[in-house]
Amino acid sequence: MSQQAEQKGSVEGLEELHREYPEVVSLAAKLASGMQLSKNDISILREAAEAMGWDGDDAADELKNLAANPSERVEKYVELFQKYYGEAHRLLERGDHPQAAEKLWGAATALIKLHAALRGVFVAAWSHGKLYNYVTHNVEHRQAFRDMLKASEVMHRYFYERDLDPATFKEHWEDAVRHIEKVKDVVLLR
């Protein structure tokens, strides 16, 4: 998506989103207008939430505000980052590694959304490719953001596959947290 199209609230940006994700834009319109959601809509919402690593309510709020200027949602993304980062650590302490891993991914996507919102740029957090493209074209500290995405994606995958033994999980968790902390410092200390 071009920089121009990623600017939230622009007609071109919404048109491009509609071409790429017509089902998501249709769902966003239903959410914004308070319309009843079909089973298919609920399935799309669940899929978007899973891709972002967010709860259904947070994903619904994100889609409901699809046409909003991202700069107006800065505080929301700070809140989401803090929520998911805190939940990830609490879940880890309780030994729920899969849920902790997914919340860590949610924190990473919220942190990228926050970075984008601070610059007034929209990024579709339900698309891993869009997250990477945003980093390539809009982030000065690209390597730190890429490292965070890569490390956090391992956590996201673990949520679904549960394929890491405890020692390997711990190493990847620590790696993801280290990279999130670096990016958090870049974003919040701008």
Q: How many Å apart are CA 12 and CA 43, to the nearest integer?
A: 27
List, as one string, the DSSP characters of 132-170. Answer: HHHHHHH-SSHHHHHHHHHHHHHHHHHHHH----HHHHH
Task: Kindly state the average pLDDT of the residues 169-186.
Answer: 98
Mind listing the pLDDT tens digit for each residue in 20-31? 999 999 999 999
Predicted confidence (pLDDT) per residue in 38-84, tens digit: 999 999 999 999 999 999 999 999 999 999 999 999 999 999 999 99
Give start and end residues of each alpha helix (H) in the chain. 3-6, 11-20, 22-33, 39-52, 56-64, 74-93, 97-118, 128-138, 142-161, 166-188
Rounded CA-CA distance 112/135 in Å is 8
Q: What pLDDT sits at residue 189?
A: 81
Determine the distance from the C-alpha atom of residue 129 to the mean position of all C-alpha atoms in its chain, rounded to a whole number. 12
